[in-house]
Copies of this chain bind each other. A is one copy, B any other.
Amino acid sequence: MHCWVDGQDATAINLQNRGLAYGDGLFETIAVRGGRASLLDGHLARLALGCKRLAIDADLALVGDEIQRFACQLGDGVAKLILTRGDSQRGYAPAAGVAPRRILQGAPLPSYPAEHAEHGVRLFPCQTRLGEQPLLAGLKHLNRLEQVLARAEWQDGEHAEGLMRDGQGRVVEGVYSNLFMVSAGVLVTADLSRCGVAGVMRGALLEHAPGMGMPTQVRDIAFEELQQADEVFVCNSVYGVWPVRAVGALNWSPGPLTRKLQAVARTLLDT
């Protein structure tokens, strides 16, 4: 698949890049269908928030244009954007006038089994807990060792995703998804102000749900509440929505609100 660095074909990046040195940057994973980048506004909005919090002075209009041109060439696939602070000498303080670097990488659309969406998935209960860092919480930054460690906890094909909790055992998210539960008709997802990644699909579902008669709550979720939930699902901006049918010994069936939001996600992703 093709890759660009700053809009030009490339296969490599300078060794001085701060993305490599310190994970000093952000990324977005964008579904592309028929040459169109799905949920692009949401991806760019999260990127803008990340740039603001990390004080990365990027031209986001240029980034948006570049993603669209890249998607055009990709056709169908996944476009991964990595935006780093740029190249700099050794040391945490970047050189004056450092220029952000844009990396775009194309990959095929993943071929998940259809039963993930139809009958739901089983989540591996990860032991790796998410640390709390309010300054970075919600961002899709390049410091992702917690996810690497969590994903390494299971190798079997039985688990399509893992459940990640915080240090207090609260339910936060999946390794590469956000998690929702339905409790007494209310759509609940974790508050991500201390840890977690605020997914673009999560944001879109929270936006659409109230208009469909589903009240939403963004708050802490105790593990015990998950046990009592009527429906549980995970979502991201590549696969959409997967019902969760099990976490360890807990079981659920795909429910009606999950199905409604699954349809919304399909529309948003043009599938």
Q: Which residues of A contact B (CB under 8 A)?
A: 3, 5, 10-24, 27, 29, 54-55, 78, 80, 82, 84-85, 89-93, 103, 105, 107, 128-129, 131-133, 135-136, 141-152, 167, 175-176
Chain B residues within an 8 Å CB radius of A151: 91-93
Q: A54-B149, A80-B90, A92-B148 are in contact. List 16 more A-B contacts (CB 8 A).
A: A11-B14, A11-B15, A12-B14, A21-B142, A22-B142, A22-B144, A22-B147, A22-B148, A55-B152, A92-B147, A93-B151, A93-B152, A129-B133, A132-B167, A142-B145, A143-B145
B92 touches A29 (CB 8 A): no
Copies per assembly: 2
B23 touches A22 (CB 8 A): yes
Expressed in whole angstroms, the minimum distance between the Cβ of A100 and any Cβ of chain B is: 14
Closest chain B residue, CB of each to CB of A90: B107
Closest chain B residue, CB of each to CB of A132: B131
Tell me the complex Cα distance, A80–B22, Å. Answer: 13
Chain A interface main SS type = mixed
Tell me the complex Cα distance, A177–B17, Å. Answer: 22
Chain B residues within an 8 Å CB radius of A13: 12-13, 15, 20
Tell me the complex Cα distance, A23–B135, Å. Answer: 18
Closest chain B residue, CB of each to CB of A16: B105
B149 touches A135 (CB 8 A): yes
Expressed in whole angstroms, the minimum distance between the Cβ of A133 and any Cβ of chain B is: 4
Expressed in whole angstroms, the minimum distance between the Cβ of A212 and any Cβ of chain B is: 32
Chain B residues within an 8 Å CB radius of A143: 22-23, 143-145
Tell me the complex Cα distance, A8–B151, Å. Answer: 32
Choose from B18, B20, B146 the contact partner of A17 (Cβ within 8 Å): B20
B12 touches A15 (CB 8 A): yes
Expressed in whole angstroms, the minimum distance between the Cβ of A82 and any Cβ of chain B is: 7
Chain B residues within an 8 Å CB radius of A142: 20-23, 145
A selection of 9 A-B contacts at a CB cut-off of 8 Å is A5-B15, A12-B14, A13-B20, A20-B142, A23-B145, A92-B144, A92-B175, A129-B133, A143-B145
Expressed in whole angstroms, the minimum distance between the Cβ of A182 and any Cβ of chain B is: 27
Tell me the complex Cα distance, A92–B164, Å. Answer: 14
Choose from B10, B22, B147, B150 the contact partner of A15 (Cβ within 8 Å): B10
Choose from B22, B85, B128, B144 the contact partner of A24 (Cβ within 8 Å): B144
B107 touches A89 (CB 8 A): yes
Chain B residues within an 8 Å CB radius of A149: 54, 135
Chain B residues within an 8 Å CB radius of A54: 145, 148-149
